[in-house]
Structure 1
Amino acid sequence: MTVVDAPVALAAAPSLTPSSLTPYSTTLSSAPLAHARLRAAAARHAEEAERTGLLHPEAVEAMTAAGLARHFVPRRWGGRAGGFAELLDTVAETGTACASTAWCAVLLAAHGRLAAHLPTEGQRELWGDSPDVRVAAAIVPPAGRLARVPGGWTLSGEWAFASGIEHADWVLLASLDHSGGGAPAYRVLAVPREVVRIRETWDAVGLRATGSHGVAVDGVFVPEHRTFLREALVAGVADADAAPCHRVPYQLVAALLFAAPALGAARGALEAWTLLVGMRRLPDGRPLTDDPAVQQTLARCSAEIDAARLLLEAAAARADGPAPGPAAVALNQRDAALAVDLLTGAVERLLRTGGARGLVAGGALARAWRDIHAIAAHAALQPAPAAAAYAATVFPSGV
């Protein structure tokens, strides 16, 4: 599929309705088809999703059918305990069509990985009937009020930015535990979606359809087996039988996962830009694509997108590799931040050279520009902290 004919191919993709979905299979033959259907559904509803601020139900069901919810779920519950490189590919491909869908897709997988740190009984409550449970989360920063009661905790309060909350079955929330008498512990708790109130606070310039609203709970009881401490995310699952994806620390992969939709958004911007300039003519009647400035924009932006892809693939390979050390964490943070910086710069250049048609509301190029700026604003992708973490692994201490 070339850059120019990609939207035409998507338009011809078979229709996907919730009734036509089949359970996700781990067979290699079914996965590519499910992923293609996900991108097709994302493309069909991208403009509507941005306008309404809601993912279309077809796109949500397609995410589940493509195995995103179960991607990191432990195999004992029927999950895949999959890898980061394959997730990067799926999310980036989806983001080419709709970055909001890609954002929810990657977090659907990521939150399943977080929930895998629950005690066994808590995991059973989530996945005992199916690994395709959709989990949302608002764990950074911790908020709310936590009180110790017999058998567990009561939780009250409000949290911000719970992406995907509108189509979640469970929600992970974080609060500080002061019950120990010393420094407060950072505790993560799993609560059913039906006890959570959505506060419709998300009305952003980009990633409009992610539903990253605030949430609130009032005196909800959470049993001990549905909680874990943040230290488990930092250390990874200690069980010798745990899959590689569960043994890596949260800091190693957080920036990588947040960056994956940006790769797709930049690819989508390049596709849209290529179509736009292909329709225009120079004053002498020749195609605009004969203009050296246009050719240089194409070469530079496509190279920057490819360079960002290589950085993210290297980060995914470290995450999938054997026993990554502290230096790998800093490398992944550095590479994810730089990749998003490259991608944002490329999309900026494409928008500036795309002409008036590229600025039309609802157009794919303008939407990609808004979405990638929303992604680049995420705290996990800021260049300064990433640079400081990397420098600490290079410069001698105290120098």
Structure 2
Amino acid sequence: MPHAHQSSLASAARDVAPLAAAHAATAEERRRLHPAVAEALIAAGFPHHFAPDLPGRSPGTFTGLLEAVAVLGEECASAAWVASVTASAGRMTAHLPAEGRAAVWEKGAGTVVVAGLMPAGTAQRVPGGWRVRGEWAYVSGVDFADWTLVAARTEEAGRTAVRVLAVPRADHAVVDSWFVIGMRGTGSHTVVLDDVVVPDERSVPLEVVLRGEASEGSAPCHRVPLKAGNGLTLAAPLLGAARGALRRWRELTGAKLAAPGGAISGGPDPGPYEQVLARAEGELDAVELLLGRAARVVDRGGVTAVETARNARDCALAAERLAAVVDGLLRTAGTRGQAEAEALQRHWRDVNCGAGHSGLQWAPAASAYARLVGAPGR
């Protein structure tokens, strides 16, 4: 049952979180998750949260994923990011033909799927399939993946199109290319394909994925436009990381909050630290409400074009507000908060890096929403 699975995923996330915290520094240094953390994420159920056609279980919900990923993000945003994006990539496999889905999930719930959906390669028609070549950067979690979904440009029916193709780990190389200031532990390296033939049953037009078209009888989560749910999977780790930053800020500034003029005294002249605390908690509550509504919309199904655009708008707005929150926390934490080994500055780097993702940019999301609601008859 979805609700039982939703609850169990959050519970499993609470069990994994201390392990992710213990290995967060190692993940940063090695620029990939510790194998024990990756195995724990798989055992918890993140990569197959939305998986189609797994015997004995129903796909989970976006609401359940949001809660569980945020729990992880409080301790390690990189682990939360990999957990979230592998769940998202697993959901996209529902759009493959039945034979392709069966091939991807042949080994069952232990399968890990990752994705590089920028059309950075080309696919040429050959008998029975597609000959694919190209390089796809920023494929998070690829070190632990069994399959990678890549998007490639094709020529079909006299026009340029894009297809999504499922490629097993044995068929592609991974180039160590992830050198960034935040989300260091996500291992978002580059996937390289050189003349790999992918059969038709393991490919689908990108527009099918974007529209959320799945086979009849599929779960509601498989019939969701990509832009209605994709921002949730990107913003959820940032919500957790911002919560972790606030918790650590309180630990660092506890003495200042308790001092005269800084404590939560209820007096006529509230101190600066209690103002920072109140504003940060209020902003995080507001973001949680925004993301919670977006999750409920996609879980309900039947998502409209306006709801899709609103979800994308809300997720971009959430990322913007979360970055502002951690900026304020770092500025007011004192020099201790900026120490290299300090969790607060790691959370700050992770949130700002994640908020820079192309799927969380405010300008295009705002424009797309405004064009819809501003149109005549809306």
Amino acid at match of 1:353: T
Aligned to 2:74: 96
Contact 1:37–1:62 (CA under 8 A) maintained in structure 2: no
Q: 1:181 to 1:243 in 2, by over 3 A?
A: closer
Report the Cα offset of residue 186 of structure 1.
0.8
What CA distance in whole angstroms lies between the structure 2 residues aligned with 1:110 and 1:267? 22
Report the Cα offset of residue 151 of structure 1.
1.4
Residue aligned with 1:139, SS = strand
Contact 2:27–2:185 (CA under 8 A) maintained in structure 1: yes
Report the Cα offset of residue 311 of structure 1.
0.3
Contact 2:224–2:301 (CA under 8 A) maintained in structure 1: no
Amino acid at match of 1:271: R
Report the Cα offset of residue 239 of structure 1.
2.9
Matches within 5 A, 1:90-129: 90-129=68-107
Matches within 5 A, 1:188-199: 188-199=164-175
Contact 1:277–1:289 (CA under 8 A) maintained in structure 2: no
What CA distance in whole angstroms lies between the structure 1 residues aligned with 2:255 and 2:35? 34
What CA distance in whole angstroms lies between the structure 1 residues aligned with 2:69 and 2:135? 29
Contact 1:54–1:210 (CA under 8 A) maintained in structure 2: yes
Q: 1:144 to 1:78 in 2, by over 3 A?
A: farther
Q: Can you list the C-alpha shifts for 1:77-117, whole angstroms capped at 9, x where unaligned?
A: 45531110010000011000011111100011000011111
Matches within 5 A, 1:172-251: 172-178=149-155, 180-251=156-227
Residue aligned with 1:116, SS = helix
What CA distance in whole angstroms lies between the structure 2 residues aligned with 1:260 and 1:333? 13
Q: 1:28 to 1:231 in 2, by over 3 A?
A: closer
TM-score (norm 1): 0.88
Report the Cα offset of residue 322 of structure 1.
3.3
Aligned to 1:22: none
Residue identity (%): 44
Residue aligned with 1:214, SS = strand
Aligned to 1:12: none
Unaligned runs of 5+ in 1: 1-25
Matches within 5 A, 1:11-26: none
Q: Can you list the C-alpha shifts for 1:334-392, whole angstroms capped at 9, x where unaligned?
A: 11111111111111110000011100112111001100111111111111111111111
Report the Cα offset of residue 132 of structure 1.
2.4
Report the Cα offset of residue 182 of structure 1.
1.6
Q: 1:162 to 1:78 in 2, by over 3 A?
A: farther
How many residues get paired?
370
What CA distance in whole angstroms lies between the structure 1 residues aligned with 2:361 and 2:82? 20
What CA distance in whole angstroms lies between the structure 2 residues aligned with 1:96 and 1:226? 36
Q: 1:328 to 1:288 in 2, by over 3 A?
A: same
Residue aligned with 1:71, SS = coil
Report the Cα offset of residue 119 of structure 1.
0.7
Aligned to 1:352: 331
What CA distance in whole angstroms lies between the structure 2 residues aligned with 1:228 and 1:39? 36
Unaligned runs of 5+ in 2: 265-269
Deviates more, 1:266-275 or 1:228-237: 228-237
Deviates more, 1:106-115 or 1:44-53: 44-53
Aligned to 1:17: none
Contact 2:177–2:190 (CA under 8 A) maintained in structure 1: yes
What CA distance in whole angstroms lies between the structure 2 residues aligned with 1:52 and 1:72? 29
Contact 2:54–2:108 (CA under 8 A) maintained in structure 1: no
RMSD: 2.1
Aligned to 1:160: 137
Contact 1:71–1:79 (CA under 8 A) maintained in structure 2: no
Contact 2:70–2:239 (CA under 8 A) maintained in structure 1: yes
TM-score (norm 2): 0.93
Contact 1:68–1:108 (CA under 8 A) maintained in structure 2: yes
Matches within 5 A, 1:290-309: 292-309=271-288
Q: 1:53 to 1:289 in 2, by over 3 A?
A: farther
